Structure 1
Amino acid sequence: MAGAWTRRSGGLLGCCCFLAGLCLPSLPAASSSSSASPRILTPPRGSKQFQFETPENHVMLYHEEGAPSVFVGAENKLFVYNFETNTSRTEPFDVTASPPDCRQEDSKNYLTLLEKYEDKLLICGTNACNPTCWNWVNDTKQARKGAQGLAPFGLDPNALVLIDGKDIYSTIKKHRYNGRIPRFRRIKGSTELYTSDTVMNNPQFVKAAMIKQDTPDNEKIYYFFREDNPDWPRNSAAPKIISRVAQLCKGDKGGSGSLSSSKWTTFLKATLFCVDEATDRHFNHLQDIVIVESPVWSETAVYGLFSNEWDYSAVCVFSVGGISEVFRKSHLKGYNGKLPAIRPGQCPGRDEMTPQETFRVADSHPEVLDKVKTQAVFYGKHHYQQMGVHQVQAADEASYKVLYLTTDRGTIHKVVLLPTGAMNVLEIQLFPSSAPIRSMTVDNRRNELFVVSTSAVVQLPLAMCKAYKDSCESCVLARDPHCGWAGDTCASIYDRGQHGNRTLLQALTHEVSPDICASSNHSNTKEDDTIRHENIPVPLHARYYLNCSVESHHANYTWIHNGQSIAHCSAGHHHCIHFIDNMTDDLYGTYSCISQEDWFNETLVTEDLVSSSPTTSKSKSLPPGNLAIKSSLSFWLGLLNMVAIATIIQ
């Protein structure tokens, strides 16, 4: 179902006069308005960050759950940041050797792997076409042997490594010139195996995970990828790219024949199908996967982030039990013969190997007919790229899932999965320059989010309650399970002890009652010191517009002039704007922007437009020669410039 809008969005505040006498809002400082700067323009309260000295186009984030520090692999260096001690260090990882035919763009040491292996931090890099690995021990690097398959020869977005105990799995080529067909290999630990060249069609790997099942012999590796759809272009209505989940048995020992002895014999793949039934939109392009484990293996959840051809996005949640059932029971696509006694995809016993006939059938028909299908739990008209998932226990003792989704504009959307549907409660702008987010991880022990961009690495609390205005109604209507009203402040669920053990007031499972805040006056329309109130000199016959920055995309907004409604904006706009094309005497006076969400009304902006002489206005805000120009061309030029500015800021 569609979780439609963010509660907070960016806005323009203040005012100046611009082209052709058209008055436009001016850019605010980060704290210019107590009407709640709707987007967090700087990292929110409680966050910390370390800036890179120079922009880093390649970064790789590693964070161990519960630790206060992060490691960031970059070009020719490793950053180590400790957010508790506020200390940092940079360790050089310079190129040690380079083949003579290495291309100039590959002649760097890009650190591409940072993972725990054998109780040490394993660090691997391209090392200028000569992949090399090190161990990080006692804050020092130690050279180690054997980097085949652990790092690519140059930056490769299709490189994927999975570490499970002593076993390592990889999609990276072991030799620089050993072919272009991507394979999924087991390169360390048990018998080395690789996938047949015909079971995947130009795959782009997304994520791999080891999934425990009912018995150790049935433990599976699931890996998720996109590939070219074999049904296209034969079927022009079919999508060009299709998303898949593949299964492999951890205990696979290869086949008994000469052609199968070094190949995975338990490989099967299925189509991942994510659909938003409310809009009948299908999402075929897998972007990211997050695994949320459960004590009951079949209830382990697989959160998939998908996009479609319009760059809209959706989140679908699959269960491991559902995926397993499809692989166990579905027919093989295109196969009409009798299945062998050992079914394709069935895990062999501890001391057994897959029979040759079973391998032959599975290798020639690797796709199951049934799809792994589910309905989207969240759908939005944004191009999301990465996802984090957190579970929080709210004041009502119920647990809620919270999604953190990165956009292609360098922001993070916080989406809560509520019983009434998904709700996008917050938009976070961590980096002022809208630098793209390269990596993000959720620490469920510390209740923190770690984010790295090209310019900085940031640690921020999952409970960002100061993003909501300090009123009971605003706090409760935010419907953020991390936050609740504690009598005089919007407080974190993790700080209940600091407020005299008072129960935090929340409303997450039902519509908010008008008397939830136990007040006879549920309106904040009266003017007070928290409302921005300005006298704005505007020349006669000038063009001017009033802007009300949208604070909640679940509210409606109305502009009032001298007590009369003159403009209305429904939920969904980033700004509620009222244009005055030609200022006349009867248009001077008081203008107020009022939001209404459910029963709660709030005055966000109040401006008094007052008359001024051209000379006064000119000296304060208008460029020379731009007073009261009435030609339609100048008006539309001014309007286009205004739209361009608003678009850039959005």
Structure 2
Amino acid sequence: MEDVVRAFKGNFLHKEGPQYKWAEFTGKVPYPRPGTCPSSTYGSYSSTREYPDDVIFFSRTHPLLQEHVLPLGERPLLVRVGVHYKFSKLLVDRVEAVDGTYDVLFIGTDSGLVLKAIHLPREHGQSQEVTLEQLQVFQHKSPVTTMALSKKKWLFVGSREGVSQLALYQCELYGQACAECCLARDPYCTWDGHACSPYMPTVRRRNARHLGEEEDPLTQCVRQGAGLQVEAEQRVMMVAEGNSTYLECLPRSRHAAVTWYKQAGENSAELNQVLTGDQLVVIERGVLIRRAELSHGGVYHCQVEEHGYHWTAVSVRLAVWSPSANRVLASLAGLSYQSTGTQPWYEDVMALIHPGNLGEHCKALGYRPPRNQRHRGDFMIAPHKEKAKAEKHKHGGGGGGGGGGGRAAGRKSRSKPQQRAPRSA
């Protein structure tokens, strides 16, 4: 407020000269000075409506002051360049966090978007803006006209479409590891030793989180006794040769940098960075393979870097199936399987999805063969083999004679049912 008062006590600007540019006004300023509130000190006016006409005219023709008011730190708190929206509403929530008090900015836009941002202290009195969330609240992108914060810690956002109720925090979205929770830098959340959960100032418990940039979050997780490893998501994908596929990696943090690597071999620790080429396109959220080749098969790793901390978020094992060779590149699936070209194509696919005996896999899935087929061990006997076996029993049975003896030995006659004992027996 001192900066505002000093600006109003400064000089006015007006437009003059042939180019009609803003310049300092050096003439006489009427009394009472424009910008002062009506009071007994300045002419005993009870309202600005009582001001003289020359004061009203001067205010209309000199609306700009020479002194300008800068925000704290002498720079804007939030800057957006090249975006499709404009800020429309602002709401500030003062939050008591583990390591101090922070002002969380909830900013509504004219496109139905709500931004959640904070400022982190840095060296030499500077600060860094961090956008924690960016939510599209309204489906038809209606401008946000009002925002209110309830006592029960809910954010209500209103537009011409209606009113939406939003949670101030979603700590469970920041991952299940201490490092990910600390790197999120959300003052509402903290690592409680088991999971990323809301911070409760009244509860005495061991909390680990640091919003600033002076210390590595790993150091705090070590103090907490939490695990340092972030478990990577494992995926298995298959694509036919000549088709396109997409390897996706979405980090939980909007400030994380993503880099893709590919293993040099199945059991090799050497990693080669994936770069955009003829058939590979590395984009912001993943890798697009336009036309898959056998050389594209392998193990891909999506590594995330934030605040100097690196970890693997996603590992994708990609197998390329070649229809011309009728085989699956087995080394990519960790199998010693090689197709001979005599079995159907689907057995190649099943060998990749479920290694081992195909019959055992079908039995585990509850597959029941038709009545004209039966099992011998793990192999199904085809109908023509079943018929040949019946003919063998019919015309020879156990190796002695034919005719009726062979028929009796082969199978029972349907015309003479067996005699059963009475039920009372």
Q: Are residue 352 (structure 1) and residue 45 (structure 2) matched?
A: yes
3-state SS, counterpart of residue 467 of structure 1 = helix
> Counterpart in 2 of 1:83?
none
Q: Could you report, residue by residue, the CA deviation over 1:221-243 in whole angstroms, capped at 9, with x for unpaired residues?
A: xxxxxxxxxxxxxxxxxxxxxxx
| Contact residue 477 and residue 512 of structure 1 kept, 8 A | no
| Residues 99-128 of structure 1 deviation map (CA, whole Å, 9 limit, x = unaligned) | xxxxxxxxxxxxxxxxxxxxxxxxxxxxxx
Verify the 8 A CA contact 1:557 1:568 in the aligned structure 2. Answer: no
Superposition deviation, residue 322 in structure 1: 2.2
Q: How does 1:7-22 map to 2 (within 5 A)?
A: none
Match of 2:7 in 1: 326
Q: Give 1:373 deviation, angstroms.
A: 3.9
Select which of 132, 155, 158 maps to 1:452.
158
How far has the Cα of 1:583 moved from its partner? 2.6
Tell me whether 1:579 sits opposite 2:279 in the alignment.
no
Aligned to 1:422: 129
Q: Report the counterpart of residue 378 of structure 1 in structure 2.
A: 78
Q: Give the Å deviation of 1:363.
A: 4.7
Task: Tell me the distance in 1 between the aligned counterparts of 2:307 and 2:26.
Answer: 59
Shift in alpha-carbon separation, 1:610–1:348, aligned structure 2, 3 A: closer
Partners of 1:364 and 1:427 in 2: CA distance: 40
In the alignment, is the contact (CA less than 8 A) between 2:12 and 2:62 conserved in 1? Answer: no
Cα displacement (A) at 1:614: 4.6
Preserved CA contact (<8 Å) 2:293 2:320: no
* 1:512 has 2:215 as partner: yes
Say if 2:309 is the partner of 1:591: no
The residue type equivalent to 1:459 in the other structure is Q
Deviation at 1:538, TM superposition (A): 0.9
Distance 1:346 1:337 in 2: 19
1:333, 1:365 within 8 Å by CA — same for their partners in 2? Answer: yes
Change (3 A) 1:429 1:331: closer
The alignment partner of 1:607 has SS state of strand
**What does residue 483 of structure 1 align with?**
189
Q: Deviations over 1:11-36 (max 9, x none)?
A: xxxxxxxxxxxxxxxxxxxxxxxxxx
- Decide whether aligned partners of structure 1 residues 558 and 535 sit closer, same or farther in structure 2, where only a CA change above 3 A counts: same
Q: Which residue of 1 aligns with 2:259?
A: 558
CA distance 1:556–1:372, shift in 2 (3 Å): same
- Gap change, CA 1:472 and 1:347, over 3 Å in 2: same
Partner secondary structure for residue 323 of structure 1: helix
The offset of 1:536, in angstroms, is: 1.9
Question: What amino acid does structure 1 have at the position aligned with 2:189?
Answer: C
AA of the residue aligned to 2:295: D
> Which residue identity does 1:516 align to in structure 2?
Q
CA drift of 1:520 comes to 8.3
Greater fraction of residues in helix: 2
CA distance in 1, matches of 2:110, 2:45: 48
Match for 1:547: what amino acid?
E
Secondary structure, counterpart of 1:591 in structure 2: strand
Relative to structure 1, is the Cα distance of residues 408 and 604 closer, same or farther in structure 2, using a 3 angstrom cutoff? farther
Q: 1:397 to 1:576 in 2, by over 3 A?
A: closer
Shift, 1:416, TM fit: 0.5
Residues 591 and 607 in structure 1, CA contact (< 8 A), matched pair in contact too: yes
Amino acid across the alignment from 1:337: G
Cα 1:439/1:464, change in 2 over 3 Å: farther
| Alpha-carbon distance change, 336 to 417 in structure 1, aligned in 2, over 3 angstroms | same
Aligned-residue offset at 1:488: 1.2
Distance apart, 1:473 and its partner CA: 0.8
Amino acid at match of 2:37: C
CA deviation vs aligned residue, 1:186-218 (integer Å, no higher than 9, x gap): xxxxxxxxxxxxxxxxxxxxxxxxxxxxxxxxx
Contact 1:479 1:506 survives alignment (8 Å)? yes
Aligned pairs for 1:237-252 (under 5 A) are none
Q: Is the 8 A contact 2:11 2:65 kept in 1?
A: yes
CA distance in 2, matches of 1:339, 1:429: 49
> Where do residues 379-418 of structure 1 align in structure 2 (5 Å cutoff)?
379-381=79-81, 382=83, 383-396=85-98, 398-407=100-109, 410-418=112-120
Q: Is the 8 A contact 1:451 1:458 kept in 2?
A: yes
Residue pair 2:192, 2:208 contacting (<8 A) in 1 also: yes
Q: Which amino acid aligns with 1:323?
A: V
Structure 1 or 2: more strand by fraction = 1
| 1:621-650 C-alpha deviation (Å, 9 max, x unpaired) | xxxxxxxxxxxxxxxxxxxxxxxxxxxxxx
- DSSP 3-state at the match of 1:515: helix
The answer to whether the aligner puts 1:501 opposite 2:191 as a matched pair is no
Unpaired stretches in structure 2, ≥5 consecutive residues: 16-24, 123-127, 264-269, 277-281, 329-344, 347-425
TM-score, L = length of structure 1 = 0.39
C-alpha contact 1:450 1:458 (8 A) present in aligned 2: yes
**Partner in structure 2 of residue 367 of structure 1:** 63
Alignment partner of 1:523 is 2:229? yes
Who is 2:239 aligned against?
538
Provide the alpha-carbon RMSD of the alignment.
3.5
Question: How far apart are the structure 2 equivalents of 1:434 and 1:605?
Answer: 34
Deviations 1:282-301 (A, max 9, x none): xxxxxxxxxxxxxxxx3xxx
CA distance in 1, matches of 2:57, 2:146: 41
2: CA distance between counterparts of 1:470 and 1:331?
58
Q: CA deviation at 1:451?
A: 1.6
- TM normalised by structure 2 equals 0.58
Q: Secondary structure at the match of 2:186?
A: coil
Change (3 A) 1:370 1:559: same
Distance in 1 of aligned mates of 2:158 and 2:37: 40
1:601 is paired with a residue of what secondary structure? Answer: strand
Tell me the distance in 1 between the aligned counterparts of 2:96 and 2:60: 51
Q: Which amino acid aligns with 1:377?
A: L
Distance 1:424 1:391 in 2: 15
Which has more radius of gyration? Answer: 2
Q: What secondary structure does 1:523 align onto? A: coil
Corresponding residue for residue 468 of structure 1 = 174
User: How many aligned residue pairs are there?
Assistant: 288
In structure 2, relative to structure 1, the CA distance for the partners of 1:345 and 1:358 (3 Å cut) is farther
Does 1:343 pair with 2:343?
A: no
Q: Whole-Å Cα distance in 1 between the matches of residues 3 and 33 of structure 2?
A: 18
Distance 1:512 1:440, change over 3 A: farther
Higher RCO by CA contacts (8 Å cutoff, separation 6 or greater):
1
Q: Shift in Å at residue 534 of structure 1?
A: 3.1
Q: CA deviation at 1:386?
A: 2.4
- Among all aligned residue pairs of Structure 1 and Structure 2, give the percentage whose two residues are the same amino acid: 23
